[in-house]
Amino acid sequence: MELKDSKWSLSDREYRTLKTLKTPAKIQDFLNDLKMNYDDGNDTCMSPRMVLCTGKAHCVEGAILAAAALRLQGHPPLIVDLEATKDDYDHVIAVFQKNGYWGALGKTAHAVLRYREPIYRDIRELVMSFFHEYFLTKGGKKTLRTFSEPLDLSIFDSKEWMASEKDVWYIPEKLVSIKHFPILTRGQIYSLRRADSIEIEAGKIIEPGMEPPKEK
């Protein structure tokens, strides 16, 4: 059970940092300012505490931190998995409701797959807003296939997921194991049009300062 006014084991400084993010839009701005975590050869799944400590995050870590910040606003800490084909990467978003409509927060170095205004009637409608921008920059194949039901991270409170100094791999492990919903029929998959050249070029845009490290 969630305790009101609890800091969920966060330090005063960590709590104040997240508490100052008083709207979902401000949380998204904070995510955008974090450096992109390319793991440097060591896979990580950092807690909100460790993201605040290191100043960097990849998409899963960003979604988990966003869920924690949303919690301090009174929202349940919910994340959703966007599952792609095997030749592409999944994406994870934090979701929230305002006046009965759903919006989303996301961490990415790319121009899309980020913030969604709370204007969507349900999770599927929200997820479909990502569909046309979710493609491979080699060949233009559209790859988004399923999405998960929202995962409430409060189920991990006993593990102190918000303030753990260890990786919280149990969160993505649980996320990929829960129910996912297909968004396309086989016929729809077969007839998908590939992104064209101008869309592909737009999809290659990386936020300045967020570029992946060059291969040695």
Supply the range of the domain harboring residue 21: 12-203
Residue 216: pLDDT band with limits 50, 70, 90: low
**Residue 66 maps to which CATH number?**
3.10.620
Q: Which of 10-24, 34-48, 57-71, 74-88 comes out lowest in average pLDDT?
A: 34-48
pLDDT score of 41 more than 90: no
Tally of domains in the chain: 1
Residue 3: pLDDT band with limits 50, 70, 90: very low
Q: What percent of the chain has pLDDT over 70?
A: 96
pLDDT score of 121 more than 80: yes
**In this predicted structure, what is the pLDDT of residue 207?**
86
Q: Residue 42: helix, strand or coil by DSSP?
A: coil
Residue 215 forms part of a structural domain? no
**pTM here?**
0.94
Residue 7 forms part of a structural domain? no
Residue 4 forms part of a structural domain? no
Residue 212 forms part of a structural domain? no
Tokens matching residue 5: 């006014």
**In this predicted structure, what is the pLDDT of residue 4?**
43
Residue 1: pLDDT band with limits 50, 70, 90: very low
Residue 173: pLDDT band with limits 50, 70, 90: very high
Residue 138 forms part of a structural domain? yes
Q: What is the DSSP string of 132-183?
A: GG-B-TTT--B-EEEEEPPEEGGGGGGGTTTT-SS--THHHHHHHHS-EEE-
- The neighbouring-strand residues paired with 98 are 101
pLDDT score of 2 more than 50: no
pLDDT score of 47 more than 80: yes
Residue 209 forms part of a structural domain? no
d(CA 64, CA 90): 15
Residue 126 forms part of a structural domain? yes
**In this predicted structure, what is the pLDDT of residue 215?**
62
**In this predicted structure, what is the pLDDT of residue 42?**
83
Residue 112 forms part of a structural domain? yes
